[in-house]
Amino acid sequence: QSALTQPASVSGSPGQSITISCSGSNSDVGGFNYVSWYQQHPGKAPKLLISTVSNRPSGVPNRFSGSKSGNTASLTISGLQADDEGTYYCISYTSSNTLEVVFGGGTKLTVL
């Protein structure tokens, strides 16, 4: 069972917008602005999309955006494209004295 809770799946049609949530606690998502989001295609390594809640690394399209409210972070993808299909993970720093980071279980995005 993952420390951060994500929906197992979401879907949307090309051109639409979708949002993926990532729920944690005051010890991780809610307590720090160190939430990052990743896209993973089958057989590939995860790719960093969003860092520190809402910052996009160079080269990531502005269709991808991140936000946070309380203990829940969110990733929004606007103007869905076929290539956006894949699995999305959130990761957060944690103040746990036994772990550095905690992961979400992943959300499978299907582009209809």
Partner 1 sequence: QLQLQESGPGLVKPSETLSLTCAVSGGSISSRTYYWAWIRQPPGKGLEWLGSIYHSGSTYYNPSVKSRVTMSVDTSNNHFSLNLSSVTAADTAVYFCARRGPNWDFQFWGQGALVTVAS
Query: How many other CB atoms are found less than 10 A from the CB of residue 23?
Result: 18
d(CA 93, CA 64): 21
**14-22, 65-73, 78-86, 89-97 -> range binding partner 1 (CB under 8 A):** 89-97
By CB under 8 A, tell whether 57 contacts partner 1.
Answer: yes
The residue among 23 and 93 lying less far from partner 1, judged by its C-beta, is 93
Residue 74 has which token pair?
A: 């969110």
| DSSP reduced 3-state for 87 | strand
The residue among 80 and 107 lying less far from partner 1, judged by its C-beta, is 107
Nearest approach, Cβ of residue 104 and partner 1 (Å): 8
